[in-house]
Structure 1
Amino acid sequence: MSKAYFSAPVAGATTISRVRRDVAGESGGAPALAGLPRWDLSDLYDGPESPKLVTDLDQADEDAQAFARVWQGRLDSLPGSELAQALAEYQRIDEVLGRAGSYAQLLFAANTSDSGVGRFAQSINERLTGISTHLLFFTLEINRIPDDVLATQLADPALAHWGPFLRDLRVFRPYQLSDEVEAVLHEKSVTGAAAWNRLFDETMAGLRVRLGGEEVTLGSALDTMSSPDRATRERAARAIGDVLGGNVKLFSLVTNTLAKDKAIMDGLRHYPRPTSARNCANMVEDEVVDALVQAVTEAYPRLSHRYYALKAKWLGLEKLEYWDRNAPLTTQDEPLITWPDATRQVMAAYEGFDPRMGKVARQFFDNAWIDAPPVPGKASGAFAHPTVPSAHPYLLLNYRGRTRDVMTLAHELGHGVHQVLAGEQGYLMSNTPLTLAETASVFGEMLTFRALLDAQTDPARRRLMLAAKVEDMLNTVVRQIAFYRFETLVHDERRKGELLPARIGEIWRQTQVESLGPAFSFTPDYDAYWTYIPHFIHSPFYVYAYAFGDCLVNALYGVFRSGHPGFQDKYIDMLRAGGTRRHKELLAPFGLDAADPGFWQKGLDVIAGFIDELERV
């Protein structure tokens, strides 16, 4: 029930959109990538020593204590209009805390190896936790209001406005503990899971891999595994395996501790299984997630197994090694795409879909809302952070000028547009569950891909683009469900006792063999590759949201391509809804239903159709 305001560099579902790719690092300094934009965080605060930051936190502390004195112990006896007044004041204070937490988080994400920034971020987290302790009673007390009393209060139009927030809050009602226990758990969070998250982040940021006589970051080494030269990929893969294997005991300790911590929390709250807390946060039923996972795992043979068998044939190999998974299908280096060209390509797709969406997207380029260069010490991957509605979102990228980086820009920009539009709902109701948060991002990526594919007249280049898109979709759907299966097995087994590093590696290999299929062989060093996936540490069971979003968007895009009347208006209305509507309500105008067993097949059939086309080439 408590809110984690900061967990660097990737926080919980309420604050940040997930790291998109699992390959990142610094660039080689190519001239074509000069002048990449850096963000300007002064729209939040003008520095860690900002007097405004000090004033805001001091005032929020004072306001939070006054809030508790006025409202605590009274909520079930208030008329609806007064409870609405309390909610408005709670949102105002909470947004101040969210602004400070966002600033600390973003500052750390761009400077993960700076100990001074790490210390500042931790101090902000501790301060926010202390202040928010005064507010903790509010949501707990709301959930103790009897249903009939709350129904009477909601008859007041002023409180009815807050209905979606109250609806989603009460999902957690069965799992709520006493106020005293919740307060202890809340205050100790900074020395519990958040501390282990920080240890993971700082360790990862400090790892160096020796390649070609040079020490490079882990992200840069991972990027080398996409080299067109197989020997280069193998050297990078084995060097990464050595580094991860050398640190596997530490990462196993972090994983075992966090899994045990989660098991304790789940037991206290009586969640039926390890995934249930995440599903509640995503406002999606366990059965819907189960149906998604089953559909994807049953589709492994016709998707990933089939595609990678084709890839092995194209590369002239009897077997693929794990370092061949991201191998390009041409030995020629891909031409670098400059930032201005990437901007034009993505904006053309967004504006071509609807000028209103293009107008929102343009703000990110016209203002310093994007941090693009892949520099040492920066968080790997990519994300979109909504911050608070009174400010604006920020995008973090590690742009290297490849087609996949253009797709990542299109993806994160979709998040940003969604976050701007949803901000109209206010701080408490703008946040979208993870399962729907990926909708705008994947849709924006699909728009960009289709525009580029339709403009491509060279059959060979078109085939390469189509294959790259299939690989991206497999990474988003199949790979993420394999990650989810890995987490499920680890958390289930951890409940029986601590897992040795070798056992975690066995589970990792099992899920990878299942998902990637017989085209691959795996050397023992791959067993340590689970260690660098940040989702497992920061957001257990987050990963299925990618598959959910991709399959959902495939179905949604099919509706768009069919000429569904008023699609753009309905789509923008869906984004503006933020967290006020559930997935069933949002998809109904398009004639879609995620609870329908055939829904997921529609999304998977799109991927299968692309592979069909590649087989015919």
Structure 2
Amino acid sequence: MQTPVFDANASGAGNLGDLPEWNLSDLYSSPDAPELKRDMDWLEQACADFAADYEGHLAGLGAQGMLDCVLRYEKIDMVAGRIMSFIGLRYYQNTTDAERAKAMSDAQDRITAFTTPLVFFSLEVNRIDDAVLDGWFAGNADLARYKPIFDRLRLMRPYQLSDELEKFLHDQSTVGAAAWNRLFDETISGLEFVIGDETRGLEATLNDLSDQDRAKRETAARELSRVFGENVKLFARVHNTLSKEKEIEDRWRGMPTPQTGRHLSNQVEPEVVEALRNAVVNAYPKLSHRYYELKRGWLGLDRMQVWDRNAPLPMESDRRIGWDEARETVLSAYAGFDPEMARLAQPFFDDGWIDAPVKPGKAPGAFAHPTVSNVHPYVMLNYLGKPRDVMTLAHELGHGVHQRLAAGQGELLASTPLTLAETASVFGEMLTFRRLLKDAPSQKERKVLLAGKVEDMINTVVRQIAFYDFECKLHAARRNGELTPDDIGELWMSVQGESLGPAFDFMEGYETFWSYVPHFVHSPFYVYAYAFGDGLVNALYAVYEEGDADFQKKYFDMLKAGGSKHHKELLAPFGLDASDPAFWDKGLGMISGFIDELEAMEG
């Protein structure tokens, strides 16, 4: 089952036009649809039959027998994914609704129970001799198509536990990490912030941090700090428990670092991530430090405060962009690259595949959920009409287009590693930005667009690598004992000054702002994938600008590959190699070049 790709920089309404909401009927017509019960009943029986037919027998199946086994496993994965996609998407629409929360919990419990007997599959595959498997692949082309799945499973072979322990870990997951994830989600969605005489949720309050009115930004920042502070003990408990649970499992598995599991699932070598991290940290002075010093001057401030980080520029319009204009902007940018890209994006607008309005209880942020390979993705936004919201739309539609193209690989091979999952989304943003820049009616508008893009790139690259460093420090410190909220706050602040630079002062209470970032809870060490994706796309875009005549074809081929190829193989047609440290410098050079252009405008 694939999972939604949550994104970091979505905004938290006005006369924006008719904002679309999801039509989930392509999954199931309703929570009590007979088809949903039918599929749940089928799943229970199919899992039991699969275990009865195959447990203890994988090594003797032969090539055709293993192919039949894989196809049955894939169908089980697809049906489970369809059920959880429907129930999960309903839940994200209103996480504070008791009926939806119960449906989500009950479905997780039941499907976990049904699928526990399947844990043997990966364990037995990893006990088959390499020569035997290679012989099967050589003799059966249909089975050989699934070789990347077997390769991925076998990466875990050194860290595999006994069959009994693996089944136990799978079985108890609903009262472990999944339960703490749910507690975090429901707490975040239920937080109330008081601004003047208005009570609002997190998304709308975060939105005030990018308001033109500095006093309004400060009020929002201080209210965020107050509410986070009131809840910080609970958030510290969530982080302590999840990081300790991870440490215990990692120790039993013999994983050398807390990051190892993420690198394995991303199919990326630790040294590649380390090269990315070091390149970004070394570039802080010429990226974020330099940009925020420029911004400090534009804002006319002696010192920047944290509530100024996402402030609009003084010359920036506070015009809200209606939904129709946002749709036209993104689709025309996509079509300018290749009409096929716009064609793939169009049904999201026409067929109820986007949920855009801000609503009470709705999950914050934005994501693209691929659902299952025989349906289609769904995109969630919290659209408020800001220019960054248009870029978020472009970003999530990029994910959606990627997921549609990769679906041709089938359920087991469609899912893309996180490091490559950001490729089409960031590329879609870049296409939209370049179109807006080309059409800018004045130097002032060009400056605003450039500055906005630099800020987004800093949020995507600098901020996410700082987040990654925070997580590395958090998990390392937790190994030495329980962390108090103050301990976690100190770790958080240790990366803030380093990454943001000397232009900033940090208000009292900012040390709690780690508490609302969902990635730390849902997907430990996920965040470096944003920087990976941005750097990769910047390098890709440079190749596109150089005029490679076959670029569009190569690009679509890369997206269609889904999870069937390694990043080295996917980038080779473009003459790129992420294991080369110069690769990352090339991507960071694009950001630095934009800042050069902004500095030149000051002359």
Shared fold, TM over 0.5? yes
Q: Aligned match of 2:494 in 510, 516, 523?
A: 510
Matched position secondary structure for 1:300: helix
Matched position secondary structure for 2:199: strand
**Is 1:15 aligned to residue 3 of structure 2?**
yes
**Is 1:43 aligned to residue 43 of structure 2?**
no
State the shift of 1:490 in Å: 0.5
Contact 2:398 2:428 in 1 (8 A): yes
- For 1:24 and 1:247, the matched residues in 2 are separated by 22
How does 1:65-80 map onto structure 2 within 5 Å? 65-80=48-63
Matched position secondary structure for 1:428: helix
- For 1:609 and 1:85, the matched residues in 2 are separated by 53
Partner in structure 1 of residue 375 of structure 2: 391
Relative to structure 1, the CA distance from residue 590 to residue 331 in structure 2 (aligned partners, 3 Å threshold; closer, same or farther) is closer
Contact 1:229 1:331 in 2 (8 A): no
Contact 1:228 1:331 in 2 (8 A): no
Contact 1:112 1:201 in 2 (8 A): yes
State the shift of 1:459 in Å: 0.7
Contact 1:551 1:603 in 2 (8 A): yes
Contact 2:212 2:318 in 1 (8 A): no
Task: Give the residue type in structure 2 aligned to 1:417.
Answer: V
Contact 1:20 1:383 in 2 (8 A): no
Deviations 1:515-569 (A, max 9, x none): 0000000012101111000000000000000000000000000000000120000
How does 1:279-298 map onto structure 2 within 5 Å? 279-298=263-282
- For 1:541 and 1:61, the matched residues in 2 are separated by 33
Partner in structure 2 of residue 379 of structure 1: 363
Task: Give the residue type in structure 2 aligned to 1:299.
Answer: A
State the shift of 1:414 in Å: 0.3
State the shift of 1:19 in Å: 2.4
How does 1:220-369 map onto structure 2 within 5 Å? 220-330=204-314, 333-369=317-353
Contact 1:300 1:478 in 2 (8 A): yes
Partner in structure 2 of residue 429 of structure 1: 413
State the shift of 1:153 in Å: 1.5
- For 1:56 and 1:218, the matched residues in 2 are separated by 36
Deviations 1:121-150 (A, max 9, x none): 000111110111122211221111111111
- For 2:68 and 2:330, the matched residues in 1 are separated by 42
Task: Give the residue type in structure 2 aligned to 1:393.
Answer: P
Matched position secondary structure for 1:432: coil
Partner in structure 1 of residue 181 of structure 2: 197
State the shift of 1:331 in Å: 6.4
Partner in structure 1 of residue 125 of structure 2: 142
- For 2:340 and 2:298, the matched residues in 1 are separated by 42
Task: Give the residue type in structure 1 aligned to 2:60.
Answer: S
Question: How many residues are matched?
Answer: 600
Q: Aligned match of 1:464 in 437, 448, 464?
A: 448
Deviations 1:255-301 (A, max 9, x none): 00000000001111111101110000000000000000000000000
**Is 1:570 aligned to residue 554 of structure 2?**
yes
Matched position secondary structure for 1:247: helix
Contact 2:353 2:378 in 1 (8 A): yes
Q: Aligned match of 2:202 in 211, 215, 218?
A: 218
Q: Aligned match of 2:101 in 115, 118, 124?
A: 118
Q: Aligned match of 1:86 in 63, 69, 90?
A: 69
- For 2:208 and 2:31, the matched residues in 1 are separated by 35
Contact 2:315 2:448 in 1 (8 A): no
- For 1:333 and 1:463, the matched residues in 2 are separated by 12
State the shift of 1:457 in Å: 2.4
Contact 1:80 1:155 in 2 (8 A): no
Contact 1:242 1:525 in 2 (8 A): yes
- Structure 1 gaps, min length 5: 6-13
State the shift of 1:330 in Å: 2.0
Q: Aligned match of 1:407 in 391, 401, 404?
A: 391
- For 2:444 and 2:142, the matched residues in 1 are separated by 60
Partner in structure 1 of residue 78 of structure 2: 95
Contact 2:262 2:524 in 1 (8 A): yes
- For 2:158 and 2:413, the matched residues in 1 are separated by 21
- For 1:338 and 1:418, the matched residues in 2 are separated by 26
- For 2:76 and 2:225, the matched residues in 1 are separated by 47
**Is 1:186 aligned to residue 174 of structure 2?**
no
Relative to structure 1, the CA distance from residue 223 to residue 296 in structure 2 (aligned partners, 3 Å threshold; closer, same or farther) is same
- For 2:212 and 2:546, the matched residues in 1 are separated by 38
Deviations 1:79-120 (A, max 9, x none): 111101110111011110011111111111111111110010
Contact 2:406 2:559 in 1 (8 A): yes
Contact 2:11 2:384 in 1 (8 A): no
**Is 1:55 aligned to residue 38 of structure 2?**
yes
Task: Give the residue type in structure 2 aligned to 1:98.
Answer: G
- For 1:392 and 1:316, the matched residues in 2 are separated by 48
Partner in structure 2 of residue 442 of structure 1: 426
Partner in structure 2 of residue 595 of structure 1: 579
Matched position secondary structure for 1:395: strand
- For 1:523 and 1:406, the matched residues in 2 are separated by 30
Deviations 1:565-617 (A, max 9, x none): 20000000000000000000000000000000100000000000000000010
- For 2:5 and 2:186, the matched residues in 1 are separated by 20
- Structure 2 gaps, min length 5: none
Task: Give the residue type in structure 1 aligned to 2:570.
Answer: L
Task: Give the residue type in structure 1 aligned to 2:235.
Answer: F
- For 2:317 and 2:592, the matched residues in 1 are separated by 28
- For 1:362 and 1:34, the matched residues in 2 are separated by 18
Partner in structure 2 of residue 11 of structure 1: none
Matched position secondary structure for 1:524: coil
**Equivalent pairs: percent with the same residue?**
55
Partner in structure 1 of residue 519 of structure 2: 535
Contact 2:558 2:570 in 1 (8 A): yes
Contact 1:20 1:408 in 2 (8 A): no
Contact 2:117 2:167 in 1 (8 A): no
**Is 1:127 aligned to residue 114 of structure 2?**
no
State the shift of 1:332 in Å: 5.9
- For 1:34 and 1:255, the matched residues in 2 are separated by 40
What TM-score do the two structures reach when normalised by structure 1?
0.96
Contact 2:94 2:361 in 1 (8 A): yes
Q: Aligned match of 1:153 in 118, 121, 136?
A: 136
**Is 1:552 aligned to residue 536 of structure 2?**
yes
State the shift of 1:333 in Å: 4.8
Matched position secondary structure for 2:422: helix
- For 2:496 and 2:587, the matched residues in 1 are separated by 22
Deviations 1:344-386 (A, max 9, x none): 1100011111111121111211211000011111111110000
